[in-house]
Amino acid sequence: MNIWGRSDAADKMGKKNLWVLGVVITVSLTLLVSCKREEGRYSLRTTVKETPLLEAQGVNLVGWDEKGRKSWELQANSGVQFTQRMSLSQVKLNLLKNGRPASEGVAQRVTMDTRTSNLVLKGNVKFVSYVDGAELFTSELEWIASEKKLQTDEKVFLKRENLFIEGWGLVANSDLSQIEIKHNPTTRLIESKSLLKNRQEIQGADKG
């Protein structure tokens, strides 16, 4: 006897309908997740091409520090400006310290972040210090405007007077007077031609 006023057949029919509804919901969720995954794969495969805002030849740019003094001066053969960055080619960069020239660098390409004024130099990067003539060579170098530091994780070569130093990674100030090579620094002594000639002459005299 069914005291709830529903027959066994009705109960079975209700359970069957609930089971069918559960199957439909499960299938729908599976299809939804599958579509989202395909959408994610598609978004990773496709990239949106940036539209240049401005293209120019003979570009000159100036960066300023927090005291309103020039921090760097840049000249480039050409430049393309996008929303948050600027791409420059065949670049000459002068870094200044307290408003005075500190070092001079060149690179094939430079990317400037227009929000931070950070600069990333790439391709045959070379810097020369105005303080002591030290020369720095690497493939990629970044200027961090807020810290007034040069840094890279790439291989670096530094020549200072008759010392030649190489290693991986570097942090330096704008005039290259303070340099830290992060990994595997190796120092070699380079004899000048005049010193080498004098030594050869001395050695020859000793033999005579």
Q: Is the pLDDT of residue 46 over 80?
A: no
pLDDT tens digits, one per residue of 66-78: 888 899 999 999 9
Q: Is the pLDDT of residue 52 over 70?
A: yes
Q: Is the pLDDT of residue 3 over 50?
A: no
Q: Is the pLDDT of residue 35 over 70?
A: no
> Which residue is associated with the tokens 């130093």?
165
Cα–Cα distance measured from residue 104 to residue 166, given in angstroms and rounded to the nearest whole number? 20
pLDDT confidence bin for 86, thresholds 50/70/90: very high
The domain segmentation of the chain, as residue ranges, is 1-47, 54-189
Q: Is the pLDDT of residue 195 over 80?
A: no
Q: What does CATH list as the number for 54-189? A: 2.60.450.10
Predicted local confidence at residue 99, as pLDDT: 86
Mean of pLDDT values over 32-52:
51
The pTM assigned to this predicted structure is 0.69
